[in-house]
Amino acid sequence: MSEQPSYVQAPRPDDDPSRPLVYFLCTGNAARSVMGSAMMRVRLGAEPRVSVDSGGTHVLPGQIMSVRTRTALEGHGIRDPFHRSRQLTVRDIERATVILAMEPDHLRWIRRMHPEAAPITGSLKRVVRDLTPPDQGPLSERVASLGLASVEFEDWEEVIDPGGGEQPVFDAAAAEIAALVDALCPLLP
């Protein structure tokens, strides 16, 4: 009889207004943003320093994650039974300290539909690369210092959308996002 793998359940997303909000954004809130949010919630543990949530730019609300997304997360020892797809809202924008986009279309969409969010929206890869350490000030000030509203998205910043791909494509996206989340966590308060 084979032993069942053990998984860590991602904590339920919370919206504690006393903590900064890190918001993962992708297209359908079905793969990349789901992976980033679940991985970060697990990494931060039971007493997180920030709130973490996710949404999309073009969402069919209320959908559970795909089997391939779930399998990719399980490959990292994570289960997230709480996820239901959701569209980014004005309330999310008002609450967010930083919005982490996965591709140039997300940044263009934010700038067109929600220009007020442009100063806090950047690619996950750029924020990981450029955000200064926590001893340099509050997260909101460190995000503001990045000048994200005027930054042009470059090719190296994209986290490729696994949607429509087979399981290895989802697994590769999960591995890339896991490394980025691991690099981002120490930069948070």
User: What are the pLDDT digits (tens) for 23-76?
Assistant: 999 999 999 999 999 999 999 998 899 999 999 999 999 999 999 999 999 999
Q: What are the C-alpha distances in Å from 141 to residues 20, 98, 105, 135?
A: 11, 11, 25, 12
Q: Residue 99 forms beta bridges with which residues? A: 23, 121
Task: Determine, yes or no, domain membership for 6.
Answer: no
* pLDDT one-digit tens code per residue, 98-124: 999 999 999 999 999 999 999 999 999
Mean pLDDT lowest among 12-16, 26-30, 178-182: 12-16
Q: For residue 112, what is the domain's CATH number?
A: 3.40.50.2300
Number of domains making up the chain: 1
Task: Determine, yes or no, domain membership for 56.
Answer: yes
Task: Determine, yes or no, domain membership for 32.
Answer: yes
Task: Determine, yes or no, domain membership for 180.
Answer: yes
Domain membership of residue 137 as a residue range: 17-187
* pTM for the model: 0.94
In this structure, what DSSP letter does residue 41 have? H
Task: Determine, yes or no, domain membership for 173.
Answer: yes
